[in-house]
């Protein structure tokens, strides 16, 4: 690996950096270089930012208004999902879905699964535990054929990915 992209959050929002290791080898005295990438949209007050897991082609940024999906190559926002109050977010392994969770409110579904290409809400659930852990309560297998959702201390529901209407097990 000769370079790696990183995202860091500050009060000004997320910043993208490239860590270049192309001139580094076992015998080289040259060090890595860290360069801030310019041209990405600014999202002041952003709370979360995550690269998509497979190829890192997108960054999902959560701020007070919702989720911004930014294309890494063009540095442009490609999709926006308006949803206030998101506290946690995770990508599915193949980048098909983004799972988010908000602070629990009485009789509201605060755990959502979104289509990462269209921004459509696929399914939502009520999650009563700590919202910071909410997005991690839904896990997909590596091929996204199945999805497991923790619904209690010792209870898990299993769904076929794409069909969240009724648990398989």
Residues 105 and 32 in one domain: no
Among the residue ranges 16-25, 89-98, 107-116, the one predicted with the least confidence is 16-25
Domain count, the chain: 2
Structural domain for 73, as ranges: 1-84
Exposed, middle or buried by CB within 10 Å (0-12, 13-18, 19+), for 17? middle
Partners of 156 in the beta sheet? Answer: 150
Whether 8 and 23 have beta carbons less than 8 Å apart is answered as no
| Position 26 pLDDT exceeds 70 | no
| Position 43 pLDDT exceeds 90 | yes
Residues 76 and 152 in one domain: no
Q: What is the pTM of this model?
A: 0.89
Q: How far apart are CA 154 and CA 64, in angstroms?
A: 33
Average pLDDT of 64-82?
A: 97
Model confidence pLDDT, tens digit, residues 123-137? 999 888 877 889 999
Which of the four pLDDT bands, split at 50, 70 and 90, describes residue 110? very high
Average pLDDT of 34-63?
A: 95
């Amino acid at each position: 690996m000769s370079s790696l992209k990183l995202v860091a959050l500050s009060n000004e929002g997320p910043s993208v950096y490239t860590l270049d290791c192309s001139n580094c080898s076992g015998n080289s005295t040259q060090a890595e270089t860290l360069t801030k990438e310019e041209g990405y949209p600014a999202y002041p007050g952003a709370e979360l930012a995550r690269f998509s897991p497979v190829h890192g082609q997108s960054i999902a940024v959560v701020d007070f208004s919702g989720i911004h999906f930014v294309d890494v190559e063009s540095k442009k926002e490609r999709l926006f999902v308006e949803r206030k109050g998101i506290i946690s977010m995770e990508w599915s392994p193949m980048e098909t879905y983004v799972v988010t969770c908000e602070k629990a409110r009485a009789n509201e579904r605060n755990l959502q699964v979104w289509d990462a290409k269209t921004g459509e809400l696929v399914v939502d659930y009520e999650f009563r535990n700590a919202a910071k852990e909410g997005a991690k309560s839904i896990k997909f297998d590596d091929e996204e054929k199945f999805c497991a959702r923790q619904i209690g201390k010792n209870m898990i529901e299993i769904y076929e990915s794409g069909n969240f209407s009724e648990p398989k097990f």
